[in-house]
Amino acid sequence: MSDDFLFAEETDQLEPIINGSWKILIVDDEPEVHAVTKLALSDFTFQGKNLTFLSAYSGAEAKKLIAEHPDAAIILLDVVMETDDAGLLVASYVREELHNEHVRIILRTGQPGQAPERQVIINYDINDYKSKTELTAQKLFTVIMSSLRSYRDILSLEQSRQGLEKIINASADLFTSHSMEQFIDGVLQQLTSILGCNEDALLVSSSLVAGNISGDVSDPHRLVVFAGQGEFERKEGKPVQDVLAPELMDAFEVALNSRGIVYRDNYLVAYCTSKFTHGSLLYISGLPGVMTENQKKLIELFSQNVQIAYENVQLQHEVEDTQREIVYRLSEAVEHRSIETGNHVKRVAFICYDLAKAYGLTEEEAERLMFAAPLHDVGKVGIPDGILNKPSKLQDHEWEVMKTHSSIGYNILKDSKRSIIQAGAIIALDHHEKWDGSGYPSGKKGEDIHIYGRIAALADVYDALRHRRCYKSAWELEQVKTWIESESGKQFDPKLVEIFNNRVDKLEAILQKYPDSDE
């Protein structure tokens, strides 16, 4: 067999650049087989990677080793070891218990009669079957090369599948920050997979585009990480100069100044076109070789569109933020009519959010309640000033007029198709209902009162008691706690009162953060 192991003569050709390695697991009870295999493949490289060999001398060792190295590319597997079918049991273990469909399994046997090829190929999920006597150095080289190509293609397909899955999942709710990050992460994964490079990829943006508008957005060189893969994972939000080596920063500067794509060594930096800002830069490393024209067109297309997609989402967020600010300002305008200064509606909003999360509402519901809560007293716009700002106790007929603000607010908001305004209508109508049924306008009782109304009721009363009004002075915290506790099961939902007592320190912090202007 030694005559078959021929090696090329030495030349003056430069050594290939080694960028990582492929793991090959040799499973055989004969040490000589391990030594000969390693010798025959000692100078093997594929796509700039050499081979790393792992050795197991029994089926039991092989099971342990493949479980520890799920990223192994190939298993050269002897059939007959401690038992006549030890290798076959390893193959079954890899596929059926570890569910490793990626690794290529090549059976090597010195006793073909023990495991006939046809039977083994049919009954076991292996990728090749070789007799040790036929596996010369050249044939070993050929089978390793073809198996690595298959392994590479399987990984590429899997990466594409994962990237496509991320994009599909993100597309269901594209216009949220989390989903946009997931979307771009998925596109990065797709792009690195299609180009055949490794998983190190990075997208950096100007501070405005990345959502950090506190910096000098007129400077195009103020870039922060928006999305990253591989070594750049979990680097989001960091300044790019804190993440990249100086030579990479130089390439980034060239791409930024030229507004083009820079190819260097085994990586590229692409400028992402923007209509509204200074744009973004895309970095991808581990390129397998010279980029083809089709690959360059793909990179150019991506760089032209990914920034536009993100900016569209930013514009959507800007619209949503504008809507929320309008809600706050209109609600504050109503509060100013009743000589209640400043931040009452803002405090009620944040208190509602805190109570809602503690109560068990979803993040989406808690946010909807928070943004809608400032509308709870919008109906006061229809109450005469003489009643609204009367410093003494209201007479019975005046009180009946005051109570109509719940229905007025509901009627103002009820016909909106916007979820926040719809929630505001519910809160306006129900936030003066009481748990025992003695509230207004409808005398609802218990859980017939919408949870938004129940939470807003407690938040509104708590904040009102803790601050001065035209008809009363601010109450001390202990006085408020005692009174709210006494109203558990009467005015307020008992579960909410319990949550209030457990979280009152956090709620007090909200009051401290947003004081009235006269405090």
More confident residue, 340 or 135: 135
Least confident of 263-267, 304-308, 382-386: 304-308
Q: Which segments of the chain belong to CATH 3.40.50.2300?
A: 2-154
Which residue's entry shows tokens 């909200």? 510
Arithmetic mean of pLDDT over the chain: 82
Confidence band of 370 (pLDDT split at 50, 70, 90)? very high
CATH architecture of structural domain 2-154: 3-Layer(aba) Sandwich (3.40)
More confident residue, 300 or 441: 441
Confidence band of 333 (pLDDT split at 50, 70, 90)? low
More confident residue, 260 or 434: 434
Would the pLDDT of 214 be above 70?
no
As a whole number, mean pLDDT of residues 423-448 equals: 95
User: What is d(CA 3, CA 12) in angstroms, rounded to the nearest whole number?
Assistant: 25
Would the pLDDT of 428 be above 90?
yes
As a whole number, mean pLDDT of residues 388-400 equals: 87
Which residue's entry shows tokens 């929320």? 324
Query: What residues are paired with 78 via a beta bridge?
Result: 108
Would the pLDDT of 381 be above 90?
no
Residue 259 neighbours by CB distance under 10 Å: 13
Which option is the CATH number for 338-513: 2.60.120.510, 1.10.1470.10, 1.10.3720.10, 1.10.3210.10?
Answer: 1.10.3210.10
Confidence band of 502 (pLDDT split at 50, 70, 90)? very high
In this prediction, residue 241 carries a pLDDT of 84
Query: What residues are paired with 129 via a beta bridge?
Result: 107
As a whole number, mean pLDDT of residues 323-327 equals: 71
Closest CA to 434 of 444, 423, 425, 424: 444
* 8 A C-beta contact, residue 496 and residue 458: yes
Would the pLDDT of 519 be above 60?
no
Least confident of 91-95, 259-263, 438-442, 468-472: 468-472
| Percent of the chain scoring above 70 in pLDDT | 77
Would the pLDDT of 218 be above 50?
no
In this prediction, residue 378 carries a pLDDT of 87
In this prediction, residue 70 carries a pLDDT of 93
Query: What residues are paired with 25 via a beta bridge?
Result: 54, 75
Apex 227 CA angle, 225 and 233, nearest 5: 95
More confident residue, 293 or 504: 504
**Catalytic residue (one of 63, 235, 380, 434):** 380
Q: What is the DSSP letter of 105?
A: E
In this prediction, residue 469 carries a pLDDT of 73
In this prediction, residue 1 carries a pLDDT of 43
* 8 A C-beta contact, residue 379 and residue 408: yes
Closest CA to 89 of 52, 50, 115: 115
In this prediction, residue 212 carries a pLDDT of 39
User: What is d(CA 102, CA 260) in angstroms, rounded to the nearest whole number?
Assistant: 37
Q: Treating both helix axes as pointing N-terminal to C-terminal, what angle do 31-40 and 137-171 enclose, rounded to 10 degrees?
A: 80
In this prediction, residue 163 carries a pLDDT of 62
Would the pLDDT of 301 be above 90?
no
Residue 250 neighbours by CB distance under 10 Å: 14
CATH fold for domain 173-304: Beta-Lactamase (3.30.450)
pLDDT, one tens digit per residue, over 245-276 is 888 888 888 888 888 888 887 888 888 766 65
As a whole number, mean pLDDT of residues 361-379 equals: 91
Region of 339 (left: φ > 0; alpha: ψ -120 to 50; beta: rest) is: left
* 8 A C-beta contact, residue 430 and residue 467: no
Measuring CA to CA, how many Å separate 238 from each of 189, 226, 247, 273, 500? 21, 8, 18, 22, 37
Confidence band of 14 (pLDDT split at 50, 70, 90)? very low
In this prediction, residue 101 carries a pLDDT of 92
| Percent of the chain scoring above 90 in pLDDT | 41
Measuring CA to CA, how many Å separate 289 from each of 19, 50, 197, 337? 12, 16, 9, 70
In this prediction, residue 328 carries a pLDDT of 65
Q: Is the dihedral of CA 482, 484, 488, 494 positive or negative?
A: negative
More confident residue, 277 or 100: 100
Closest CA to 208 of 275, 259, 157: 275
Q: Which segments of the chain belong to CATH 3.30.450.40?
A: 173-304
**Tell me, what amino acid is at 418?**
R
User: What is d(CA 401, CA 408) in angstroms, rounded to the nearest whole number?
Assistant: 11
Confidence band of 5 (pLDDT split at 50, 70, 90)? very low
Q: Which segments of the chain belong to CATH 1.10.3210.10?
A: 338-513
Residues present in the chain in total:
519
User: What is d(CA 479, CA 481) in angstroms, rounded to the nearest whole number?
Assistant: 6
Does 380 participate in catalysis according to the annotation?
yes
How far does the chain reach from its first CA to its final CA, in angstroms? Answer: 94
Apex 233 CA angle, 219 and 54, nearest 5: 145
* 8 A C-beta contact, residue 497 and residue 349: no
User: What is d(CA 243, CA 236) in angstroms, rounded to the nearest whole number?
Assistant: 10
More confident residue, 191 or 123: 123
Confidence band of 184 (pLDDT split at 50, 70, 90)? low
Which positions ≥6 away from 348 have C-beta within 8 Å? 373, 374, 376, 456, 459, 460, 463
pTM above threshold 0.75? no
Residue 93 neighbours by CB distance under 10 Å: 16
Q: What tokens does 63 get?
A: 């099971």
In this prediction, residue 20 carries a pLDDT of 79
